[in-house]
């Protein structure tokens, strides 16, 4: 199973496709859910506090608008987990409304610079294009490792323990 970052970051259709192929979609909904169900906070409607734009400083400098940094405090941690990504260009609003374009530009840049497999597709405008669109996504998702082998996990854990040991 791979953790797949999707763009638009709140697209239900993309999230569903990723899940159907046995992978985990990294979506904005999961981040927002965590915020709105946090009982200790009271900052309606999303429970984002002035601390969040400060957390966003990790991904965008202080000159960047507060709304971008606030959004990045949610999206940035997802990019950190990203193992593969699907980016759909020119999506209409109902495919997954993407709000602030400054955040979108930064998000796509950070995903592309991560060096993970990225599929970039254009939103389809005809039936043929739609078939091609789904096929491309399906092929991409199939190419990703379904299950991580135990050896891989073991190697990763050993590497992590080594790092911690050095510290």
Partner 1 sequence: MSDEESGLVKIALVSCGSEYAGVQPEFEAAAAKVNAKFIYPEIDVSSVDTIGRDFGLEVASGDLRLMMARAKAVVEGITNADGVFITTCFRCAEGAIVRNEVRRYIHEHSNIPVISYSFTESTSAGTLLTRLEALTTIVRRRHLLTREVQTGLTAGIDSGSTTTKAVVMRDNKIIGMGWVPTTKVLESAEEAYSIALKEAGVSREEIQALGTTGYGRFLIGTHFKAQLVQEEITVNSKGAVYLADKQKGNATVIDIGGMDNKAISVQDGIPGMFTMGGICAGASGRFFEMISKRLGVDITELGALAVKGMHEHVSMNSYCIVFGTQSLVNSLARGATPEDVAAAACYSVVEQIYEQQLQEVDVKEPLILVGGSSLIAGVPKALGELLKIDVLVPENSHLIGAVGAALLASGFVEE
Residues in contact with partner 1 by CB under 8 A are: 42-46, 48-54, 63-71, 74, 92-94, 97-102, 104
Q: Which CB sits closer to partner 1, 23 or 71?
A: 71
Least distance from C-beta 46 to partner 1, angstroms? Answer: 5
Q: Residue 1 or 97: which CB sits closer to partner 1? A: 97
Q: Closest distance between partner 1 and the C-beta of residue 92, in Å? A: 5
Cα separation, 130 vs 126, in Å, equals 6
Neighbouring C-alpha atoms within 13 Å toward the C-beta of 42:
0
Distance from C-alpha of 35 to C-alpha of 166, rounded to nearest angstrom: 35
Judge contact between 74 and 31, C-beta under 8 A. Answer: yes
What's the closest the beta carbon of residue 64 comes to partner 1, in angstroms? 7
Whole-number minimum distance, CB 12 to partner 1, in Å?
Answer: 13
Q: If you write DSSP's letter for every residue of 67-112 in order, what string do you get?
A: HHHHHHHHHHHHHHH-SEEEEEES--GGG-----HHHHHHHHHHHH
Q: Do the Cβ atoms of 31 and 51 come closer than 8 Å?
A: no
Closer to partner 1 by CB, 51 or 142: give it: 51
Distance CA 125, CA 127 (A): 7
Nearer to partner 1 among residue 67 and residue 124 (C-beta): 67
């Amino acid at each position: 199973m791979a953790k797949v970052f999707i763009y638009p970051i709140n697209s239900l259709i993309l999230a569903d496709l990723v899940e159907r192929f046995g992978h985990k979609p990294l979506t904005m909904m999961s981040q927002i859910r965590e915020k709105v169900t946090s009982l200790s906070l009271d900052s309606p409607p999303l429970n984002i506090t002035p601390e969040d734009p400060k957390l966003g400083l990790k991904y965008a400098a202080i000159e960047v608008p507060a709304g971008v940094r606030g959004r990045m405090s949610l999206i940035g941690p997802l990019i950190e987990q990203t193992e593969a990504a699907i980016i759909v260009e020119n999506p209409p609003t109902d495919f997954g409304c993407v709000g602030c374009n400054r955040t979108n530009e930064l998000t796509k840049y950070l995903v592309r610079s991560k060096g993970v497999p990225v599929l970039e597709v254009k939103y389809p405008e005809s039936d043929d294009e739609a078939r091609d669109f789904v096929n491309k996504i399906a092929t991409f998702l199939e190419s990703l490792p379904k299950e991580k082998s135990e050896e891989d996990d073991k190697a990763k854990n050993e590497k992590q323990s080594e790092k911690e040991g050095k510290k």
